[in-house]
Structure 1
Amino acid sequence: MTIESPSILPLEVRGLSARYGVVPALRDVDLVLRSGEIVTLIGANGAGKSTLIKAICGLVRPTAGSVRLFGEEVTGLSPDRMVRKGLSVVPEGRRLFPEMTMLENMELGAFARHDAAAVKRDLDRVISLFPELKDRLGTHAGTFSGGQQQMIAVARALMSAPRVLLLDEPTIGLAPAVVDRIADIVTQIAHSGVNILLVEQNAETALAIADRAYILEGGAITAEDTAHALAASPDVQRAYLGI
């Protein structure tokens, strides 16, 4: 059994820049995710949060900088290779296959795995996180509510057995009670040993469950601290918490 050095970070982003055509989207972004953490990235719509997720997971090619996963240089690798290296994404908008069942959507999350017995064990474990849905595995995903579809999207991502999970706006458009449920699920996943980067416009919820936080404005990191400290900042309260 190989024991990882405690100095090796699950995710390390250094000097990352990206653009769409001639329009800069990210500017020299530094971000780290340490073992056992929930780190949140908050910012207004259009700040570059989703672009950062896409640049990390290989959907957008950076113009500068690097991404390291458990110490390994992975900048620009394709999304399917990133999944095989232990990184999974819950995309904004869920991106389920509506004509496929909940179970079929979840099974797609394990496309890169060949350990059938372990996949079956993980399927049972992941389903146990969503007791409200366990009796609807054969139901088409498109017939679920928005909050339920978000749960399925999270379940699908977990089926790849990720060590790092990126969540892009998982609570957007959801009712407050469902937001609380999603936050609870994210916390449970973190407690199971998955390292989490949570991208959110809902700063109140994100800061309540995160260990550390970054603020992204205009494609650049403008603040970094513990989630508690940023939640107590008057500037953050005015800009993101409506206080």
Structure 2
Amino acid sequence: MNCIEVDDVSFRYPATEHLVLDGVSFQVHEGELLGLVGPPGAGKTTLCMAVAGLVPGITGGELSGSVRVEGAVGIVFEDPDGQLTQLRALSEVTDPLRTRGASRDDAVREAHRLLERVGLGGEDLAGRWVWELSEGQQVLLALAATLATQPDVLILDTVMGSLDATHRAGVLGLLRDEAGARTVLLVEQDATLLGEVADRLVVLEEGRVRAVGTPAELLDDDAVRAAADLGTPGTLAAARRLRLPSRPLTTEAFRAAVCGVGRLPTGGTARPNGHHGDRAAPPWREDRPRIQVRNVDFGHPDRSPALRGLDLEVRPGEVHAVLGHTGAGKSTLVRLLCGLLRPVRGSVVVDDQDTATVHPTDLALRVATVLQDADQTLSQRTVRDEIALSLRRRKRTDGLDDRVDRVRRLVGLPEDVLPADPLLLPRAHRMLVALAAALVVEPAVVVLDSPTTGLSHGGRLRLAAALADLRSRGVAVLITEHDTDVVVEVADTVTVLDRGTVAAQGPVHELLRSTRRAELAARRIGLPTAGVLADAVGVDACTLDDLVEALSAAPPPDTDGPSSTEPPPAVAPVTAPAPTGGGA
């Protein structure tokens, strides 16, 4: 029985001629988990709102065709700010329960159960102000509030990228536990995740359905993945590099495939020493750090600590990644670095400026910052003006158009978005606009808060290229991230935060190896995909190159069970960046 039927749906927003959806038709079976994929601007969020009955009633515009849904629909958007309506976290979940007729005591009891179900039960968030929560915590809170409405159809619109590994795995576990009982529409750009959990995929391209099929059918098709702006699933990329006869989409299937072939051929293996081995030590590494954080404490208004005794340095030409679970203090650190917050104790010095003594607008002349919610920094009516704004404020208008175009190309923004209103662009493009506006002044220090959240595969590749360019020019870069696949590709060094304190620091390829699995899992950090696969087959690896090299030389793994005697951690693998050129 079909739970959702979309029949020849077209839609345009008010005052536009462009069709965001153009003749879209597909069905979703009752109890099915359907993955909805496509590049930025393909119409995914608009389609989700159509299924939820929000267009055109809420947005205005013209809708043709029909959408039929059996049962109630609940939706969680990629930006949770727009759907959180209460001041306190607990009230956000009790309010829909009270609306459904529950007594106050029953509503509070059920709200605590739902917060526990989505992974917030141990976070002591019940009395916290909603705006004090991290974006990942806000996403989970919105999910708990949506589950309180008891929807028959649950729509999750690009929410996984805001979550740490443990919470991400918890949400996937929730979806698996309810498989068959609740219909799920999952919008994601993580090909590995989709291969693990989706029953079928619908690929949107320019508002039209490009393809419908199972993950096995579509994710192994390079042309379909390119149209959807998806990377190669990590298991599939590894299988291709290892010349395995099968095309596994899960960790278990990859292990079975490796076990089935015995010793692997040595031809066509890893590039020597992998990604980081090709990098010469930059000549600036002995220079004085451009970011110096010394023994910093910072607390929330309720006096709960956000950072405690934090020490960190970033030198010219270094890309330093800060990892940590949802709420570990990463965004707080970013706000300290750009002067929006001041430490309770200790010092923060950026490009020789003590942030406690410099106004944030003056500090911005030296430090380019892109916040996790890029919308907070966007103020102009066109993308061109947004990128040029900092240059105009500094009266650096010589060659303005050329500078804007150079940085546009650097971050991968299409030229046709320059006259558009940045706030009307897809979230992935808004992040790239904010990044371009930050980089156009050629800063000495760049700070990026969760820059890959919401980015497609192509956007991530362009971000990696931009970071490589900054590194080559001696810029000090600090990024916060959940996605360890991105980190092993772009970063030199890592700081791991756990509840506001430094749990580990060091070179990226030492801290994110599969041998650190248990330590990382304890900090709610997932291994890179190559590390997950390496751990499953009993070798040590951090990158895909490491994995291929190790397996090409290693005896076949024991087929009786996992290589490790420890139970597997509750972390979900994330997408490994695919090799450039469209194939693995």
| Pairwise same-fold verdict (TM > 0.5) | yes
Whole-Å separation in 1 of the counterparts to 2:511 and 2:385: 40
Instruction: Report the structure, 1 or 2, having the larger strand content.
Output: 1
C-alpha offsets along residues 104-132 of structure 1, whole Å, 9 cap, x if unaligned?
21122335412321655532321231454
Which region of structure 1 is more displaced relative to structure 2, 217-226 or 229-238?
Answer: 229-238
C-alpha offsets along residues 113-172 of structure 1, whole Å, 9 cap, x if unaligned?
123216555323212314542232111113322222211110011123311000001111
- 1:100 Cα offset (Å): 1.4
2:472 match: 191
C-alpha offsets along residues 153-197 of structure 1, whole Å, 9 cap, x if unaligned?
100111233110000011113334433332333223322332210
1:235 aligns to 2:518 (yes or no): yes
What aligned pairs does 1:157-236 form with structure 2 within 5 A after superposition?
Answer: 157-232=438-513, 233-235=516-518
Assess, with a 3 A threshold, how the Cα gap between structure 1 residues 33 and 192 changes in structure 2: closer, same or farther: same
Whole-Å separation in 2 of the counterparts to 1:195 and 1:115: 22
Q: Counterpart of 1:173 in 2: which secondary structure?
A: coil
What aligned pairs does 1:141-156 form with structure 2 within 5 A after superposition?
Answer: 141-156=422-437
1:14 match: 294
Assess, with a 3 A threshold, how the Cα gap between structure 1 residues 131 and 39 changes in structure 2: closer, same or farther: closer
Q: Counterpart of 1:161 in 2: which secondary structure?
A: coil
Whole-Å separation in 2 of the counterparts to 1:87 and 1:215: 23
Give the unaligned 5+ runs of structure 1.
none
- 1:220 Cα offset (Å): 0.8
Q: Counterpart of 1:199 in 2: which secondary structure?
A: strand
Whole-Å separation in 2 of the counterparts to 1:45 and 1:212: 20
Number of residue pairs matched?
239
1:27 match: 308
Backbone CA RMSD of aligned residues: 2.4
Whole-Å separation in 2 of the counterparts to 1:72 and 1:101: 32
Whole-Å separation in 1 of the counterparts to 2:306 and 2:401: 40
Whole-Å separation in 2 of the counterparts to 1:121 and 1:173: 28
Which region of structure 1 is more displaced relative to structure 2, 219-228 or 114-123?
Answer: 114-123
Q: Which has the larger Rg? A: 2
1:123 match: 404
- 1:213 Cα offset (Å): 0.4
One-letter amino acid of the structure 2 residue matched with residue 143 of structure 1: L
* TM-score computed with the length of structure 2 as normaliser: 0.38
Q: Is the 8 A contact 2:481 2:487 kept in 1?
A: yes
- 1:63 Cα offset (Å): 0.3
Q: 1:91 aligns with which of 338, 359, 371?
A: 371
One-letter amino acid of the structure 1 residue matched with residue 348 of structure 2: V
Which region of structure 1 is more displaced relative to structure 2, 117-126 or 135-144?
Answer: 117-126
Structure of higher RCO (CA pairs closer than 8 Å, 6+ residues apart): 1
One-letter amino acid of the structure 1 residue matched with residue 526 of structure 2: L
- 1:89 Cα offset (Å): 0.3
1:81 aligns to 2:366 (yes or no): no
1:63 match: 344
One-letter amino acid of the structure 2 residue matched with residue 215 of structure 1: V
Q: Is the 8 A contact 1:207 1:213 kept in 2?
A: no
Q: Is the 8 A contact 2:411 2:463 kept in 1?
A: no
- 1:6 Cα offset (Å): 4.9
Whole-Å separation in 1 of the counterparts to 2:317 and 2:360: 23
Assess, with a 3 A threshold, how the Cα gap between structure 1 residues 60 and 120 changes in structure 2: closer, same or farther: same
Whole-Å separation in 2 of the counterparts to 1:241 and 1:33: 24
Whole-Å separation in 2 of the counterparts to 1:180 and 1:171: 10
Assess, with a 3 A threshold, how the Cα gap between structure 1 residues 63 and 111 changes in structure 2: closer, same or farther: farther
Whole-Å separation in 2 of the counterparts to 1:46 and 1:134: 37
